[in-house]
């Protein structure tokens, strides 16, 4: 589905003494909780359609963390722990908590830390394409996974992500990836108290099914789904992804 962006607005908040940029869509209806999206590797463009679709039923937010989406938006160093801390601070200050917290890729790893450390902030947790299984925590296997996954991704993903990666710079992107490889989501998820949904694309090489099954088994209350696509399956599938989040 094309990226409609019918109701997406930029927002700046002051959090922890810094300007915190996010994109917002929709408005709250009744008691529906806010939806908060944490992107993978700091690239926002591929999740805008999902943000817009989530905004059809509640207020939805796409957080610019660590701040690659704008030259003035750097809110924290690139890393799983620092992004998780920034997200905690933002949820404390801006939306009505608890929220539905959605993370994709490395954003799923950061979202896991938020839910484990601050259960008061998170009503439910959605992990889309959670990275990285133990076998991908070295360089060679990660490169092989990249090649397998790339064959199933849309070429249109490049202009949706590369501008943010360029603003981040190779050093920060590399630091972010290494931080994700040093993380252990299989341990963190055991501390999460809220319901968890895990979802992966059928061709997602970064979140293979045995890895997702392992995470689901380690959680207290979890279920998993498989959808079409590869690792960045939410791209141009905003309505489908929003329905998944709302389940």
Please tell me the predicted confidence (pLDDT) of residue 141: 96
Instruction: Kindly state the DSSP code that residue 98 receives in the 8-state scheme.
Output: S
Please tell me the predicted confidence (pLDDT) of residue 225: 97
> pLDDT by residue (tens digit) across 6-42?
689 999 999 989 999 999 999 877 788 999 999 999 9
Helix (H) or strand (E) segment spanning residue 239? helix 238-246
Distances (CA, A) of 135 to 2, 28, 109, 148, 224: 35, 41, 16, 15, 21
Other beta carbons within 10 Å of 51 = 29
User: Residue ranges per domain, the chain?
Assistant: 8-246
Q: Rounded distance, CA 103 to CA 2, Å?
A: 21
Please tell me the predicted confidence (pLDDT) of residue 244: 94
Please tell me the predicted confidence (pLDDT) of residue 1: 35
Query: 95 has which bridge partners?
Result: none
- CATH class of residue range 8-246: alpha beta
DSSP string, 101-131: EEEETHHHHHHHHHHHH-GGGEEEEEEES--
Residues of the chain with confidence (pLDDT) below 70: 1-6, 247
Decide: 111 and 102 in contact? Cβ < 8 Å.
yes
Distances (CA, A) of 231 to 25, 92, 157, 205, 227: 24, 30, 11, 7, 10
């Amino acid at each position: 589905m094309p990226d409609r962006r019918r109701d997406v607005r930029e927002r700046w908040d002051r959090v922890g003494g810094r300007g915190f940029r996010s994109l917002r869509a929709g408005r709250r209806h009744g008691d529906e909780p806010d939806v908060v999206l944490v992107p993978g590797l700091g690239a926002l463009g591929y999740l805008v359609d999902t943000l817009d679709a989530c905004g059809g039923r509640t207020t939805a937010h796409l957080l610019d963390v660590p701040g690659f989406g704008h030259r003035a938006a750097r809110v924290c160093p690139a890393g799983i722990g620092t992004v998780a801390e920034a997200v905690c601070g933002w949820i404390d200050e801006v939306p009505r908590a608890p929220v539905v917290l959605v993370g994709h890729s490395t954003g799923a790893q950061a979202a896991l830390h938020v839910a484990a450390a601050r259960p008061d902030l998170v009503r439910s947790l959605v992990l889309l394409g959670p990275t990285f299984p133990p076998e991908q925590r070295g360089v060679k296997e990660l490169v092989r996974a990249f090649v397998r996954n790339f064959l199933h991704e849309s070429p249109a993903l490049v202009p949706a992500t590369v501008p943010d990666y360029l603003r981040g710079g190779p050093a920060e992107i590399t630091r972010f990836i290494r931080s994700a490889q040093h993380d252990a989501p299989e341990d963190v998820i055991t501390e999460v108290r809220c319901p968890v949904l895990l979802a992966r694309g059928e061709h997602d090489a970064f979140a293979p099914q045995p890895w997702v099954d392992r995470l689901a088994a380690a959680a207290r209350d979890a279920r998993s789904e498989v959808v079409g696509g590869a690792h960045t399956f939410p791209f141009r599938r905003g309505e489908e992804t929003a329905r998944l989040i709302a389940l």
